Amino acid sequence: MDYSIAGGRQPRGRRVASDNPSSTLGGGDMQENMYDQYGQPRQQQAPPQLFEDTSGQNYDYGNQGYGGMNYGYPPPGQPNQGASGGYGAYPGAIPGPQIFQDPLVANMAMQYGQSLASQGREYVDKKLEKYVSMSQVKYYFAVDTPYVMKKLRLLFFPFTHSDWSVRYEQDEPVQPRHEINAPDLYIPLMAVVTYILVAGLCLGLQERFSPDVLGMQASSALVWLVLEIFVIFATLYVTAIQTHIKSLDLLAFSSYKYVGMIVALLAGLVMQSLGYYCVLAYSSFSLVVFMFRTLRWQVQGGAAMEAYSAGNKRRLYLLLFMSGLQPLMMWWLTKHLVAV
């Protein structure tokens, strides 16, 4: 008996393919295609990709030499793969700060800088040697702390000192650190700077200070110092006196007065005008004694007393003029700084 025909019924568990292809697209057939014969869901296949996804790739145009966004440098967070081939991946790249991390390049740069510095120093020394010998300038700053203390004591108490001669070694004077009678420029320089600061303090306590005061005080001190030295040289030229005084020696001796001026101004701050005039008088007298005894050996050497007895009055007058000029300059440069 043929069960496939009888009654138009199909056997249970079987499915006959329809001749109409569109019938396979029905809802029931689509659900049956989603499961296999064991009732398990079939694996869905992704639709074919028409184009390749290139959004996740990093095109380093700079490393290829096309002038990309990184301009020859690696992207942030990635090592410089082209560093081994030079300063960039292509010739002519601009070197970055990593060039100085190379020890060879750093040493070459240091040596080049040192050579430039030495050449510049030599050039400056040659220019200065035309006007002032640097070796002579170094001589006047060859001091130490014991010398400074002894020199300050000598400026205020010259009466206790007996030997005013300057020792020489191989026709050159001994450095100030080894010779108390040798002139120096360290104490005068520090004294001038301190005088300007103390002058500003005095004017500030009198409510006369302004930002221009320090500059005016410095200019005034410099102008009067140059004028004083010029007058002394003019006197030497007019009187035709031959001395052993050098220009730097004269600058040092003319600047020692600022030490006494500082002490007089400080006394004026404590004891008003009375203390100022008392200290100024003593400082002026001690400086006159110091200048006269020191310059005597600079003007006539060891035969100073014999020259005086022989009637060489011009040298005596010169010493008196140079020594007596110091108290006058001390008073002139400090009188306007003391409250009346």
Per-residue pLDDT, 334: 93
- The single residue listed with the structure tokens 């064991």 is 38
Question: Minimum mean pLDDT among 88-92, 104-108, 221-225, 275-279: which range?
Answer: 88-92
Per-residue pLDDT, 57: 53
User: pLDDT for 182-212, tens place per residue?
Assistant: 999 999 999 999 999 999 999 999 888 888 8
pLDDT at 331 over 90: yes
Per-residue pLDDT, 305: 44
Per-residue pLDDT, 263: 96
Helix, strand, or coil here: 179? coil
User: pLDDT for 43-71, tens place per residue?
Assistant: 655 555 555 555 555 545 444 444 445 54
Q: Which range, 65-69, 158-162, 238-242, has the best average confidence (pLDDT)?
A: 158-162
pLDDT at 255 over 90: yes
Q: 33 falls in which pLDDT band (50, 70, 90)?
A: low
pLDDT at 276 over 90: yes
Check residues 339 and 101 and name the one with the higher pLDDT. 339
Contact assessment for residue 69 and residue 62, using Cβ atoms and an 8 Å cutoff? yes
Copy the structure tokens of residue 256. Answer: 């020692």
DSSP 173: E
Question: Minimum mean pLDDT among 6-10, 107-111, 131-135: which range?
Answer: 6-10
Nearest to 329 by CA among 317, 319, 321: 321
CA distance 116 to 154: 45
C-alpha dist (Å) from residue 266 to 16, 190, 270, 283, 338: 128, 16, 7, 13, 10
Per-residue pLDDT, 128: 61
User: pLDDT for 211-220, tens place per residue?
Assistant: 888 889 899 9
CA distance 94 to 330: 65
- Say which residues have a Cβ less than 8 Å from residue 312's Cβ, sequence separation at least 6: 300
Copy the structure tokens of residue 65. Answer: 């030499």
Nearest to 244 by CA among 303, 199, 187, 202: 303
Check residues 108 and 218 and name the one with the higher pLDDT. 218
pLDDT at 93 over 90: no
For residue 152, count CB atoms less than 10 angstroms from its CB and return exposed for 0-12, middle for 13-18, buried for 19 or more.
middle
Q: What are the phi and psi torsion angles at 22 (to 5°)?
A: -70, -15
If you average pLDDT over residues 247-270, what whole number do you get?
93
pLDDT at 150 over 70: yes
Check residues 172 and 38 and name the one with the higher pLDDT. 172
Return the number of other C-beta atoms located less than 10 Å from residue 139's C-beta.
19
CA distance 213 to 255: 21
Contact assessment for residue 185 and residue 141, using Cβ atoms and an 8 Å cutoff? yes
pLDDT at 227 over 60: yes
Mean pLDDT for the chain? 75
- Widest pairwise Cα distance in the chain: 176
Check residues 184 and 119 and name the one with the higher pLDDT. 184
Q: What are the phi and psi torsion angles at 13 (to 5°)?
A: 90, 0
Phi-psi map region of 72: left, alpha, beta (phi>0 left; psi -120 to 50 alpha): left
C-alpha dist (Å) from residue 137 to 133, 176, 306: 7, 12, 33
Q: What are the phi and psi torsion angles at 4 (to 5°)?
A: -75, -15
Vertex 300: Cα angle to 153 and 132 (nearest 5):
75
173 forms beta bridges with 168
What are the residue ranges spanned by the domains of the chain? 2-131, 139-337
Nearest to 203 by CA among 12, 33, 328, 336: 336
Check residues 312 and 333 and name the one with the higher pLDDT. 333
CA distance 252 to 330: 15
Residues of the chain with pLDDT > 90, as a percent, come to 32
